[in-house]
Amino acid sequence: MIQNMQAGQLISLAINDQVKEAYVRNSDTLLYTLREQFGLVGAKPGCNNGDCGSCTVLVDGIPINSCHILSVEAVGHKITTIEGLTDSTIQQAFIGNWAIQCGYCTPGYILNIYALIQTYPDADDAMINEWLESNICRCTGYQEIKEAVKNTLIARKINE
């Protein structure tokens, strides 16, 4: 009897400063592996085509839609999920500015904005708006999210 088995392999991923191993199919997305293999459910499945940003993670510090990258492509790269970003200034700003409603999009926004602030600590309004375009929120009017970003940038400058 011939068994129908999908090809796969054992991989090691550097996630949140820990090396984790998983057996994955060659077609498994990073989003699937994070959620199903490692229980890291902060990255959310939304559109599954890269439009909504709810599955955003950082790969080598760059925001990436984890629904668009295969797990095998992430080998050798540093992956940061919302679970690995604890007590960051941007998280506190989201809380302080009421930039959270249902919370589904929040992890993706926070990781995207965290990368923005790390990359461009002097970001202006136009740059902030450009970076926020990669995520969709169906609950807020986006103003609270923009204020959270601006307040984080101001707080960062004060603390320098």
Asked whether residue 93 is domain-assigned, the answer is yes
Q: How confident is the model at residue 88 (pLDDT cuts 50, 70, 90)?
A: confident
Number of domains in the chain: 2
Instruction: Write out pLDDT tens, residues 133-149.
Output: 999 988 877 899 999 99
Residue 1 has pLDDT above 70, yes or no: no
Check whether residue 70 and residue 116 sit in a common domain.
no
pLDDT at 19: 98
List pLDDT tens digits, range 94-153.
Answer: 999 999 888 899 999 999 999 999 999 999 999 999 999 999 988 877 899 999 999 999
Beta strands 78-80 and 8-15: pairing type?
Answer: parallel
pLDDT of residue 131: 94
Is 1 among the domain residues? no
**Same domain for 70 and 108:** no
Residues 89 and 155 in one domain: yes
From 58, 82, 106, the end of a domain falls on: 82
Which amino acid belongs to residue 24? V
Write the pLDDT tens digit of every residue in 73-87.
999 999 999 999 987
Domain, as residue range, for 103? 85-159
Give the global pTM: 0.91
CATH of the domain at 45: 3.10.20.30
Whole-number pLDDT of residue 6: 62
CATH number at residue 92: 1.10.150.120
Q: E strands, the chain, where? A: 8-15, 18-25, 56-59, 62-65, 78-80
Is 3 part of a structural domain of the chain?
no
Taking each continuous run of H as one helix and of E as one strand, the counts in the chain are 5, 5
Residues 59 and 101 in one domain: no
Residue 3 has pLDDT above 60, yes or no: no
Could you tell me if residue 125 is inside a domain? yes
Task: Return the pLDDT at 141.
Answer: 73
Q: Are 66 and 119 within one domain?
A: no
Q: Is-contact 131 119, C-beta < 8 A?
A: no
- The pLDDT tens digits for 35-58 are 999 999 999 999 998 899 999 999
Q: Indicate if 35 and 91 belong to the same structural domain.
A: no
Do 78 and 21 share a structural domain? yes
Task: Identify the pLDDT of residue 140.
Answer: 75
